[in-house]
């Protein structure tokens, strides 16, 4: 009987000690939470990283020269009725509400922005215009005739007639290598025919024939 009472007494003491310990732990956690909520953020701590899923807008390339057949996305801030996507016509012009017709071919997007803003000033207070080339269709050349892969190819800033022939896979049998010519569209809508004698060029006799290509040039290999 005495042994049973002692056991019950020790169990009561043990439970009391455990309860005191738990209460102390909870109180410490509560104080720590209050300190964290009331404390000022550490100025030396690094800022949180920005959301990596945010879409970054890329500025347009102001070295690009707009050409015929390019498609332009024109945005006028807070003017959805004026903003639209338009193609550059064969005469090099575009049409935009309020601005009317304006020359686009031969200008950079930045230059066209300024020209459009000037046109719109009579209708819109301080117009903010953005021009982006949505589809570049003008910066290409064509090569036709007796080459392995005739077709249309992207034009780089340094492409020449020899480069174009190499890109097209070289000549096919019976190609008239002395009678090649380049058809070039003039600003007035006409067309020039520029001769290219492959045999002379590769021998270094008249390297000036190996001209730098322009957008929409067509090389014909008979």
Distance CA 192, CA 208 (A): 16
* Overall pTM surpassing 0.85 (yes/no): no
Whether the pLDDT of residue 35 is over 50: the answer is no
3-state secondary structure of 160: strand
Closest CA to 139 of 122, 127, 157: 157
**pLDDT confidence tier of residue 172, bands split at 50, 70 and 90:** very high
**pLDDT confidence tier of residue 189, bands split at 50, 70 and 90:** confident
> Structural domain boundaries of the chain?
71-135, 140-221
CATH 3.10.560.10 describes domain 140-221: yes
3-state secondary structure of 63: coil
CATH 3.30.1950.10 describes domain 71-135: yes
Q: So what's the pLDDT on residue 55?
A: 31
Minimum mean pLDDT among 60-64, 134-138, 190-194: which range?
60-64
Distance CA 3, CA 182 (A): 116
Closest CA to 116 of 135, 133, 96, 136: 96
């Amino acid at each position: 009987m005495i042994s049973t009472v002692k056991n019950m007494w020790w169990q009561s003491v043990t439970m009391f000690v455990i309860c005191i310990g738990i209460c102390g732990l909870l109180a410490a956690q509560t104080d720590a939470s209050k300190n964290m909520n009331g404390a000022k953020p550490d100025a030396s701590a690094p800022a949180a990283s920005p959301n990596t899923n945010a879409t970054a807008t890329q500025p347009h390339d102001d070295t690009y020269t707009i050409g015929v057949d390019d498609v332009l996305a024109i945005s006028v801030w807070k003017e959805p009725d004026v903003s639209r996507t338009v193609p550059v016509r064969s005469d090099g012009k575009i049409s935009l509400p309020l601005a009317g017709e304006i020359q686009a071919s031969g200008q950079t997007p930045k230059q066209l922005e300024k020209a459009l803003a000037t046109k719109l000033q009579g209708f819109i207070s301080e117009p903010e215009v953005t021009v982006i080339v949505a589809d570049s269709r003008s910066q290409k050349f064509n090569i036709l005739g007796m080459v392995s892969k005739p077709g249309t190819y992207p034009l780089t800033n340094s492409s020449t007639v020899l480069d174009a022939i190499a890109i097209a896979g070289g000549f096919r049998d019976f190609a008239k290598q002395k009678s090649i010519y380049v058809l070039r569209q003039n600003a007035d809508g006409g067309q020039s025919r520029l001769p290219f004698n492959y045999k002379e060029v590769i021998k270094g006799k008249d390297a000036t024939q190996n001209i730098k290509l322009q957008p929409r040039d067509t090389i014909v290999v008979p």
